[in-house]
Amino acid sequence: MTNVRVRFAPSPTGDLHIGGVRTALFNWLFAKNKNGKFILRIEDTDEARSTRTYVKVILDAMKWLKLDWDEGPGNDGNLKYSPYYQMERKEKGIYQKYADELIAKKFAYYCYCTPEEVDTMRKKAHVNRIPPKYDGRCRYLTLEQIEQKKKEGKIPVIRFKMPNTGTIILNDIIRGDVKFDNFLLDDFVIIKANGIPTYNFACVVDDYLMEITHVLRGDDHISNAPKQMHIYNALNWKMPEFAHLAMILGSDGSRLSKRHGHMSVLEYRKEGYLQEALINYLALLGWSTENSQQVFTIEEMKRKFAIERCGTSPSIFDPMKLLWLNGEKIRSKDPEEIYELFVDWINYTGNVKLIENWDTELLKKAIFLERDKIRLLKDILSLVDFFFNKDVDYKEEAVQTVLTAEKLKDIAKIVLTESSIRLSKHYDFSAISLEKYARDLAVEKNIKTSQVFHPIRVAISGRKQGPSLFHMMEVMGKKEVIRRINITIDKFFI
RNA sequence: GCUGCCAUCGUCUAGCGGUUUAGGACAUCGCCCUCUCAAGGCGAAGAUCACGGGUUCAAAUCCCGUUGGCAGCGCCA
C-alpha cells in the first residue's frame, strides 16, 4: 500500500472549535497509526472572512493540542507540495489551469448569470417542490452570445457541467456505499467571478496534487462528495478514499453551537483543561475499542486507533465527562508536572500577578495535598490560596456552623485556646502527636475528636474543607498555625 | 420542500445471528474508608435494544416499511 497522506484543512474564518479539533484529531491519529503524513492546509479562499489573525489562532491551537503537522504552514520542506495556503496556490495559477482544462474538455463552462438570477431559480424550484439547482441556461451559449455578454461588461463564473442522468456511488470507509442521483446535483461554481476557486474545486485540486490518500471529514460534507468525485473523474484523477465521521452535537441534539457552551478550543484552554484530556475525550466521541476503554495515553491512542471502528451515529458532547477526564489526567501526574502545567496556564491567562508572591516550594506541597480535588487547572487557585494569604478569609458558612453556633461556641473557644497553648508548648506537628493531642483533649473535655479538628481547620484556613489537619499544619508550619489560631480567638471570642 | 445520513441506559459506547438475566464509562443514589472535602473501594437504580412487519430453529444483530432526529441544498468552507 502506498504511504498514507491525510490532511486537515481549516478555513481561517474563526477560532478552532470542537468539531474542527475532532476532524483534525482523527486525521492525525489515522496518520500516526499508519505511519503516514499529516498535512495542514489553510483554505483561505473566502476573501471576505479569512484573516491572518485566525490563521495564527488556529496554528497556535494546533500546537497547544500537540497535533503536529508533517507539512504545512511553517513547515513546507517538501517543495513538491507547497505552498499550503490556497490563496498562495491561486496566485500561482494552479486552479485556473485545471479549470481551463475542464472548459477545453467541455466539462465546464462560463456562466454569466447574476447571483440574483440564480437565487430566483432556486426559490422557484423550492416552490415547485423540485430539487433546487442552477438550471444550466449558460451551458450552451453561442460564441455570439458570449461576445454580447462580454460587451455588456459581465464577468463570468465557471461552472462544472453535471451529468443529467445516472448515479454516482461513494464507497465510504465508514458508511459503505452511498448512492447519489446525478440529476439532483447542481452545475456548481468552480471559479468565482473574482477568479478565486470555490471550496469543492480547490479541495479536489489540492488533494490530488498533494497526493492525499484518505479524506476523513465531518458527515456534513457527505453531500459534497459526489460533486468532488465528478471532478476527479472529469480530470481523470485517481480518487482518495473517503471516510465521513458522524457529527458531534450539542446537548439538545442539534449542531454544536455557541449556545451549547464553549465552542472554541481556546476557551477550554482558558478554563484549565489539559490538552490530553480534550484529545482523549474527543477520541471517545465516534471511536471505540472492543473493550470500551475510556482513558488512553496519547501513545496508546495512536497505537489503537482504527478508522474501521468509527461509528456512524452522531454523538452529543458531554461536558461532565470531559471534566471527569480532566481530573483523571491531573490525578495521574506528579505534583511537579501539575505545577508546571499550572504555571503554563497562569501565564497563558495573563494572571501571573495572582501568584507572584507565592512560594514555589510551598505551592508544590499544597498542590500535592489537594491534587485529588483538582478538576481544572484554575481550581488550584481557590484550593490552595489560603496557604499564601496572610489574612485568613473566613467563609461565612464555616464560621457560623463551626465556631459561633450557639451550641458549639463554648467548645470551640476552649479548643482553640487550649490548642494555642498546648500546640506551641507540648506537641510537635507529626501525625502521631497531633492525633494524640486531639484524643487527649477530646477525652478531657468529653467531646469527639472531630470537634477538636474542625474549629482548628476553620481557624487556620477559614473553610470547612481542606487537606487533613496534620498535612495542612505540616505544610504551613507551627508558627503560622499558632498565629492564625490566636488571630481567630481574638476575632471571634474576645 | 428536495436529497442524504442516523436510531442500544439521561449521555458516550460494547455488541457483527445462538456465549446476553444486553457489558463498560460519565452523571445520579447508597454503603465503606475518614478530622472535613475529595480521591479510592463496594453496591444500587437506570435500556420493552425507536416502532411495525418479515427472513431464520434462533435477531439488538440480516431485509423491508413507518416514525423521529440530524445534516446538506451559496459566486461559504
Helix (H) or strand (E) holding A346, with range, is: helix A335-349
pLDDT-derived band at A75 (thresholds 50, 70, 90) equals confident
Question: Above pLDDT 70, what percent of chain A?
Answer: 100
Whether residue A107 has pLDDT greater than 80: yes
Nearest to A7 by CA among A208, A159, A142: A208
The protein residue nearest B2 (Cα–C1') is A131
Cα-Cα-Cα-Cα torsion A60, A204, A217, A214, nearest 10 degrees, comes to -100
> Phi and psi of A63, rounded to 5°?
-70, -40
What's chain A's Rg over C-alpha atoms? 32
Give the model confidence (pLDDT) of A76-95 as tens digits: 767 899 999 999 999 999 99
Give the pLDDT mean for A430-456: 88
* A163 CA → B55 C1’, Å: 39
Cα angle A114, A96, A208 (rounded to 5 degrees) comes to: 115
Nearest protein residue, CA measured to C1' of B34: A468
A159, β-bridge pairs:
A109, A189
In whole angstroms, give the CA distance from residue A333 to residue A339: 10
Nucleotide nearest to A113 (CA to C1'): B75
Q: Which residue is nearest to nucleotide B15 (CA to C1')?
A: A290
Cα A276 to Cα A412: distance, rounded to the nearest angstrom: 46
- Distance in angstroms, CA of A262 to C1' of B8? 29
- Is the pLDDT at A13 greater than 90? The verdict is yes
Q: Give A294 CA → B31 C1' in Å.
A: 26
Average pLDDT, chain A: 94
Instruction: Give strand letter and number of the nucleotide nearest A468 (CA to C1').
Output: B35
List chain B nucleotides near protein: any atom < 7 Å from a Cβ. Answer: 1-8, 10-16, 23-27, 35-40, 69-77
- Report which residue type is found at A210: M
Report pLDDT digits (tens) over A403-422.
Answer: 998 888 999 999 999 999 98
In this predicted structure, the answer to whether residue A426 has a pLDDT above a threshold of 80 is no
Residue nearest to nucleotide B40 (CA to C1'): A372
Mean pLDDT along residues A198-221: 97
For the cut 80, the answer to whether the pLDDT of residue A400 exceeds it is yes
Work out the number of other CB atoms within 10 angstroms of the CB of residue A127: 9
What's the pLDDT score for residue A494? 82
Residue A1 has pLDDT above 70, yes or no: no
Alpha helices in A426-468 (DSSP H): 431-445, 449-461
CA atom of A367 to C1′ atom of B28, Å: 29
User: Residue A328, CA: closest nucleotide via C1'?
Assistant: B39
Neighbours of A35 (CB within 10 A): 9
- Could you list the active site residues of A? 258
With cell 464507497, the residue in question is A171
Angle at which helices A225-234 and A199-209 pack, to 10 degrees? 60
What is the rounded CA–CA span in Å between residue A215 and residue A39?
11
Range A15-25 average pLDDT: 96
Mean pLDDT, residues A419-432: 82
The answer to whether residues A265 and A15 touch, using CB atoms and an 8 Å cutoff, is: yes
Please, are residues A203 and A228 in contact by the beta-carbon 8 Å criterion? yes
Q: Is the pLDDT of residue A425 over 70?
A: yes
- For residues A20-49, average pLDDT: 97
Element (H, E) at A320: helix A319-331
- What's the length of chain A? 494
- CA at A223, C1' at B28: how many angstroms apart? 40
ipTM for the whole complex: 0.96
* Average pLDDT over every residue of A150-170: 93
| Residue A223: nearest nucleotide (C-alpha to C1') | B72
